[in-house]
Chains A and B, each alone.
Chain A
Amino acid sequence: MPRIDSPADLEKLRKSILSQRDPDKPCITLCSGSACHATGSGKVAESIEEEVKKQGLRDEVDIRKTGCHGFCERGPIIVIHPEEICYFQITPEDVPEIVSQTIKEKKVIERLLYTDPDTNEKIIHESEIPFYKNQKRLVFGSNGSIDPKSIDDYLAIGGYSALAKALSGMSAEQVLEEVKKSNLRGRGGGGFPAGRKWEGSRNAPEETKYVIVNADEGDPGAYMDRSLLEGNPHSILEGCTIGAYAIGSHEGYIYVRQEYPLAVENVNIAIKMAEEYGFLGKNILGSGFDFTVRVHRGAGAFVCGESTALMTALEGRVGEPRSKYIRSNIKGLWGMPSVLNNVETWANVPLIINKGADWFTQFGTDGSKGTKIFSLVGKITNTGLVEVPMGMSLKDIIYKIGGGIPGGKKFKAVQTGGPSGGCIPDELLDLEVGFDELTKAGSMMGSGGMIVMDEDTCMVDVARYFIDFLTDESCGKCVPCREGLGQMRKILTKITEGKGKEGDIKLLEELSEVAKEASLCALGTSAPNPFLSTVRYFRDEYEAHIQEKRCPALSCKELITFHIDPAKCQACMICKKKCPAEAVDGGKKKIHVIDQEKCTKCGTCFEVCPSRFSAVTKISGEPVPSPIPEEERIITRKSKANE
């Protein structure tokens, strides 16, 4: 493959690629992101290859393994082009029918389609499904059309045209101005204006400057960056090359967390191909601009997502953050000006350059322009990755796109911003999603994790969970975080175990204040947020735990007991058989009783008791009723008594 030495040659190549692709030719796209892979898309892919060959259609049908489509709840997902027929939860057994019915006979298989839960109608086309219809997939949408391991696929959808435009038609200052005008704010958590960050580096006197892609996505429950890197790695390469041009950098790093092997693999393949084609390396597209980029793997530390800790790790040291009194865009990696931005931020850059800042600013709100990809997970019907314009209300995201809370349960709170964020309760659901709006409500945008919680979630336990996570991940350098969070963890754990006492909330608040004011880095200063937001909106739960030793959500193991209601138990023996601790006493026609000494509170009996009986209950804050006398435990069925 000869190098592409000019924008004109790039357009020639693109035309030639497109001319060899027939838009009407049937194409089976199969989502092969990590999540679908975990549900078996690998086997489905093999089956498709086999079946297509078997039915003699290898030359008439294209097969494309793409990145994540976003509707992770329903994977594995297949979309058949050009009709855009979307099938969900595909198993290898479905494949022969799909090939013979839909590909050959152009017939739709009803049972594999999405059913609208409100109207019960079957929906054929991907874009009409409510989950997708209400999104604005500017950045993420391309995932469904390209095979991440193929650079030609990326070129076919217009890839690298932004880079060509920037290098040949714009000066570095003009590129910078466009990004500034777009008001693009960092998508990694801080929400700092990207243009301003770039400008600081551009104006710094040093010759050597670095661009860094932060792909150390550590927030538990957030996997947008992973899906972008796995599914469309070239978009990030293009974005950071444009950024490098704007600030005058010639060397870049992509810091990918070690827990993302597929992302590392796909980015490395993309870099190699980009270098072959001449989009990376020396004299890119004949412009005279040089830029190389390397992948650096993380080694399992959440704190390395913090920008100064990441740079310290890049230098081959432990990920201990540094003070930010002099910002890292002035003195960063090896003391040089370094622009570090999140994966999603970089992915927005080619769009902004191609379509212009004016186009970009039409989306979003005054303070937060563009779109944001959220990972909508937890107690939600449609789990997955969603991209919405800033300004959409939380209510719309959770109900219109997310499909609401499953199992008929009531919504309780939505946690945004990961461990640095907070919980937003029901009364604030009309909140329009944006950086400043979320911060005002006591949370933050963070990297885009959106964990939905229902009536069964204990908010004290949520605070304990996050502090536990952060205590584990703290680098340990500064006292307020290392010692302060450690003490907070002890207190919160005691509260969930029923050992809380008067004065605990006040002490937690004091520790929070010190961590917020005096910690070395943002991990420490934002660590108290989950506690502070849950105590702000759910103080009654804390007080119930401390004063009444009661968990209102019936969740904290030490504070609940399981009890079989003798009035409802039908002695079906299911819970007795499933109990891993053999703690259920009873028999056929003998009402079951739980031996509290043996019970491990695993909750299996609660889950397996048939819903028409619903005999297993959880009790908290009061003693368990004593078992009824032996004689009353024998069930005599009315029908048998009449015989």
Chain B
Amino acid sequence: MENDRIDQIVDKHQGEASSLIQVLLEIQSENHWLPKRALERVSVKLQVPLTRIQHIATFYKAFSLVPKGRHEIHLCMGTACHVRGATRILDTVQDVTGIKPGETDLDLKFSLETVNCLGCCALGPVMEVDGKTHGKMAPGETADVLKNYE
């Protein structure tokens, strides 16, 4: 991401240090990850120590310091889904993709995250791929759904 674009985002938030998280959220959403150079630029523009930015970027789950895969898999591990067998779905997804939650595969095809409650508890267990919700998942179906993604 170009420094100009980062500067634009910072200025949009009036260059306030308290808007640090909002600024990073915008960069993350546009760029899909936070390169170190972006963090350094924000540190300079907002006059905030890099250690604070680094802590924020690693503390909050929304941020990624590494590039993400083409397809983001979000598995709901909320209590309602858990009680309906979400752990078994997680096992299957891990087997099929070869990655664990928080990881991206070497081909940069899939990134896997577990999330806590997508709010569609009636459809549990729920798997979301690229924002599309797949409900009432069973281990066998999971492999079929993932096979469809390039």
Contacts and interface: CB of A to CB of B under 8 A. Distances in A.
Nearest to B124: A377
Interface stretch (A347-355, A378-386, A531-539): A378-386
Interface string A465-477: 1100100000100
Nearest to A333: B18
A395 B122 CA distance: 20
A300 B80 contact: no
A451 B86 CA distance: 15
- Among A218, A221, A580: residue with most chain B CB under 10 A: A221
Interface stretch (A45-53, A278-286, A316-324, A507-515): A316-324
B133 interface: yes
Interface stretch (B1-9, B56-64, B104-112): B56-64
A318 B55 contact: yes
Contacts of A297: 21-22, 25
Contacts of B124: 377
- Among B21, B83, B133, B135: residue with most chain A CB under 10 A: B83
Interface stretch (A22-30, A195-203, A269-277, A598-606): A598-606
Interface residues of B, number: 48
B88 interface: yes
Contacts of A377: 79-80, 121-122, 124
Contacts of A260: 119
Given A72-B120, A375-B121, A221 B135 contact: no
A299 B21 contact: yes
Interface in A174-228: 218-223, 226-227
A479 interface: no
B82 interface: yes
B122 A603 contact: no
Interface string B76-111: 011110111101100110010000000000000000
A378 B84 contact: yes
A72 B122 contact: yes
Given A221-B78, A258-B25, A377-B80, A316 B121 contact: no
A520 interface: no
B52 interface: yes
B60 A316 contact: no
Interface stretch (A34-42, A131-139, A162-170, A425-433): A34-42
B117 A220 contact: yes
B123 interface: yes
Interface in B115-150: 115-124, 126, 133, 135, 138-140, 143
Nearest to A602: B139
Given A377-B80, A449-B79, A465-B82, A299 B122 contact: no
Range, interface on chain A = 35 or more
A218 B126 CA distance: 17
B62 to A, nearest CB: 4
A299 B29 CA distance: 11
Contacts of A415: 79
A313 interface: yes
A603 B87 CA distance: 11
Contact of B62 (A74, A299, A378, A457): A299
Contact of B78 (A38, A220, A314, A316): A220
A83 interface: no
Contacts of B21: 296-297, 299, 313, 316
Nearest to A334: B18
B18 A315 contact: yes
Interface in A257-315: 258-260, 296-302, 313-315
A522 B2 CA distance: 42
A297 B24 CA distance: 11
Given A223-B121, A299-B60, A318-B56, A451 B92 contact: no
A226 B117 CA distance: 11
Contacts of B22: 296-297
A379 B140 contact: no
Contacts of A475: 59
17 contacts: A34-B119, A35-B119, A38-B123, A220-B80, A226-B119, A299-B60, A299-B63, A300-B63, A301-B60, A316-B17, A318-B60, A377-B122, A378-B84, A415-B79, A475-B59, A580-B140, A603-B139
Interface of A: 34-35, 38-39, 72-75, 218-223, 226-227, 258-260, 296-302, 313-319, 375, 377-379, 383-384, 415, 418, 449, 451, 453, 457, 462, 465-466, 469, 475, 557, 578, 580, 600, 602-604, 607
Given A379-B84, A604-B138, 10 more contacts: A38-B123, A74-B122, A221-B79, A299-B25, A315-B18, A383-B80, A469-B116, A602-B91, A603-B139, A604-B139
Interface of B: 16-22, 24-25, 48, 52, 55-56, 59-63, 77-80, 82-85, 87-88, 91-92, 95, 115-124, 126, 133, 135, 138-140, 143
Closest 7 CB pairs of A and B: A300-B61, A220-B78, A299-B60, A377-B80, A223-B119, A377-B121, A38-B133
